[in-house]
Amino acid sequence: MQAIKELLKQLAGIWNELGLNQKITVMAAGFAVVAALVAVLIWGGRTDYSLLYGNLDTAEAGRVTQALDSSSVKYKISQGGGAIYVPSAQVHQMRMQLATQGIPKGEGIGYELLDKNTLGMSDFMQHANYNRAVQGELARTIAKFNGVDSARVMIVSPENRLLIDPGRHATASVFLTMLRMSRPSSETVSAIQMLVANSIEGLSLNHVSVVDNSGNVLSVHDEEGSLVAVTSSRLRARQELENYLGKKVETMLEKVVGSGNVVARVSADVNTDSETITQEIYDPLAKAIKTEITTTERTSEPVGQPGGPAGVTPNIATGGANTQIPAGSTNQLDYLKQDTESEYAVSRSTTNKVVLPGQIKELNAAIFVNTTNPPAGLVASLHTAAVLALGSYVTDTNKVQVQPVTFDTTERDQMLAAVGSSNFWTRFWDVGKSFMYIVLLVGGLYLVVRTFRNTSEEFIPTGMTVGEMLADRMADEAAITAGAEMAAAQVQATAVQRP
């Protein structure tokens, strides 16, 4: 305690030696340092909040805040209760924790509707609850698409009857609420139709209607096999082919000239006709024996010996009786007959060929490369690479053109500058928070040092300890006292000498 008292006494002595202006400067510097340290502590201890959930309705926001209160987690509410913010360090943890509790549930009611007790419920109510559950699950799934804020799904299923009516079929309609009044792409609409059609038994793709909150009918209903449906499918197939080939060329050339410096457009002439070709070819020179039948016949009979007078008359008169074959004669006549019937098969080949639509007849490609002074041979090399990338469909290399041009990047540069400025200030504040303590400390020390430097040694001697400075002060006071006493003694002596 004695040391502390001595220290306080020394500090008080130093303070008394300072002038009025110096005292004000020291007080102001000390106050500024203390205020800066307090501000840094408050700023550094401030909690950064991040978005936990947005676009919530009142009921869902209430369930989320109730769960946060039970977990003793601080939160902020904005956008009229539709957005909830929590400390940044707890965002992911709270999302996982709330997901295990089924919060938030999203638009509508899903299959949890079927968890209720259905005892005593009629078949009609069970069927209605099942439809409601399917509608809710589909709405939740569709709301996950990019650009879709929320969705509602309505399903109409025909009643089950003994007699099947071909004119009765299931239908569905989807209502989309888009973000920032945007409009979904045709691919997104087709995906939604496919998703709904494959989730409902007996539902055809053409019986799913999709509309948005701006009143636009997004779905196209083409009867299967109709001219419109066939034309639309062929047009989509051609667009997909052209986009695929153009992207193929762009991604390859961007490896050479940089990302975003290539634009490729491909035009394809696609054969949309279907053909069935049947061809039979006969080769008369190439023949083979198919069947061969051979018949052999053998006969034998005795040969008679003529007798009597020769001539016609005796034979006519006797009726041939004079022709005699002596007994024991062995003379006979043998007959051999052989017939061969051959059937030959002529060589024949039959070919059935079905040519489906979609064959590429011709390709044209236009490619722009963002470069002003390309090196010698670069454009020719890029042209060769583009032709090879398009494949054997290119019948004439002159129909693939590569042109070096200068792109207008004004809008992109402005966006990059805006993003870079935002990132710069974000990084600036992050780094500033880290070095603020050091800057304030150095600033405070500078003010103190500057204050003492501007003070003359007459008031604050330098190079002396506090004890030496107090000893000098006491010696000065003693000298002043001694001088005063000597002056008083002289005055008194002068007064005595006078009569």
- Picking from 105, 33, 34, the residue whose alpha carbon sits closest to that of residue 67 is 105
What is the average pLDDT value for the chain, to the nearest integer? 77
Using CA atoms, how far apart are residues 363 and 266, in angstroms rounded to an integer?
7
The predicted model gives 265-289 an average pLDDT of 82
Task: Give the pLDDT confidence score for residue 246 in this predicted structure.
Answer: 92
Task: Give the pLDDT confidence score for residue 231 in this predicted structure.
Answer: 72
183 pLDDT exceeds 90?
A: no
Task: Give the pLDDT confidence score for residue 368 in this predicted structure.
Answer: 93
32 pLDDT exceeds 60?
A: yes
- What share of the chain in percent tops pLDDT 70? 73
457 pLDDT exceeds 60?
A: no
265 pLDDT exceeds 90?
A: yes
Contacts of 100 (CB under 8 A, 6+ apart): none
Task: Give the pLDDT confidence score for residue 15 in this predicted structure.
Answer: 76
The two tokens of residue 164 are 């099947």
The two tokens of residue 374 are 């390309």
What one-character-per-residue DSSP string does 368-387 give? EEE-SSPPTTHHHHHHHHHH
Chain segment 159-178, per-residue pLDDT in tens: 776 666 677 788 999 999 88
Residue carrying structure tokens 């949309």:
272
Task: Give the pLDDT confidence score for residue 459 in this predicted structure.
Answer: 47
Q: Which amino acid is at 460?
A: I
Q: Contact, 174 vs 156, CB < 8 A?
A: no
Chain segment 206-217, per-residue pLDDT in tens: 889 999 988 888
Distance of CA 217 to the CA centre of its chain: 26
Task: Give the pLDDT confidence score for residue 266 in this predicted structure.
Answer: 93
Strand order in the sheet with 400-405: 262-271, 359-370, 400-405
Q: With the CA atoms of 419, 421, 426 and 428 taken in that order, what torsion angle do they form, in degrees rounded to the nearest 10?
A: 150
Max alpha carbon distance in the chain (Å)?
A: 245
What one-character-per-residue DSSP string does 256-303 give? HH-TT-EEEEEEEEEE---EEEEEEEEEEEEEEEEEEEEEEEEEEEE-
Top mean pLDDT of 128-132, 334-338, 424-428 is at 128-132
Using CA atoms, how far apart are residues 363 and 393, in angstroms rounded to an integer?
6
Same fold, 113-159+168-221 and 244-272+360-411: yes
- How many residues belong to the chain? 499
306 cis-preceded (ω within 30 degrees of 0): no
Task: Give the pLDDT confidence score for residue 271 in this predicted structure.
Answer: 84
The pLDDT confidence band at residue 331, using thresholds 50, 70 and 90, is low
Task: Give the pLDDT confidence score for residue 252 in this predicted structure.
Answer: 92
Residue 365 backbone phi and psi in degrees, to 5: -140, 135
Least confident of 44-58, 119-133, 358-372: 44-58
418 pLDDT exceeds 80?
A: no
130 pLDDT exceeds 80?
A: yes
Strand ranges for 136-199 from DSSP E? 148-156, 170-178
Distances (CA, A) of 76 to 36, 41, 64, 91, 106: 28, 22, 12, 13, 20
CATH 2.40.50.110 is the classification of domain 49-101:
no
Chain segment 63-96, per-residue pLDDT in tens: 888 888 888 888 888 877 778 888 888 888 888 8
- Picking from 468, 452, 450, the residue whose alpha carbon sits closest to that of residue 460 is 452
Task: Give the pLDDT confidence score for residue 264 in this predicted structure.
Answer: 93
Angle at 151 between CA 149 and CA 152, to 5 degrees: 155
- Count the neighbouring beta carbons within 10 Å of the beta carbon of residue 64: 22
Domain positions in the chain are: 1-45, 49-101, 113-159+168-221, 244-272+360-411, 275-299+334-355
Task: Give the pLDDT confidence score for residue 433 in this predicted structure.
Answer: 66
Model confidence, pTM:
0.45
Q: Can you give the C-alpha Rg of the chain in angstroms? A: 56
Chain segment 349-406, per-residue pLDDT in tens: 888 888 877 788 888 999 999 987 888 888 999 999 999 999 888 888 889 999 998 8
Q: With the CA atoms of 311, 312, 314 and 317 taken in that order, what torsion angle do they form, in degrees rounded to the nearest 10?
A: 180
463 pLDDT exceeds 50?
A: no
Using CA atoms, how far apart are residues 494 and 498, in angstroms rounded to an integer?
7
Top mean pLDDT of 331-335, 336-340, 453-457, 472-476 is at 336-340
Q: Contact, 213 vs 176, CB < 8 A?
A: yes
CATH architecture of the domain 113-159+168-221 equals: 2-Layer Sandwich (3.30)
The two tokens of residue 391 are 């494949």
Distances (CA, A) of 282 to 277, 278, 290, 345: 17, 14, 16, 11
User: Could you tell me which residue, 184 or 307, shows the higher pLDDT?
Assistant: 184
Using CA atoms, how far apart are residues 208 and 174, in angstroms rounded to an integer?
8
For the segment(s) 244-272+360-411, the CATH number from 3.40.630.30, 3.40.190.10, 3.30.300.30, 3.90.1150.10 is: 3.30.300.30
Using CA atoms, how far apart are residues 11 and 78, in angstroms rounded to an integer?
53
Chain segment 299-323, per-residue pLDDT in tens: 877 765 555 555 555 555 555 554 5
455 pLDDT exceeds 90?
A: no
Residue 273 backbone phi and psi in degrees, to 5: -90, 145
Give the SS3 label for residue 79.
helix
- What share of the chain in percent tops pLDDT 90? 11
Using CA atoms, how far apart are residues 342 and 358, in angstroms rounded to an integer?
50
**3-class secondary structure for 322-350?**
CCECCCCCCCEEEEEEEEEEEEEEEEEEE
Task: Give the pLDDT confidence score for residue 187 in this predicted structure.
Answer: 85
Least confident of 50-54, 220-224, 247-251, 424-428: 220-224
476 pLDDT exceeds 80?
A: no
The two tokens of residue 376 are 């010698």
Task: Give the pLDDT confidence score for residue 176 in this predicted structure.
Answer: 92
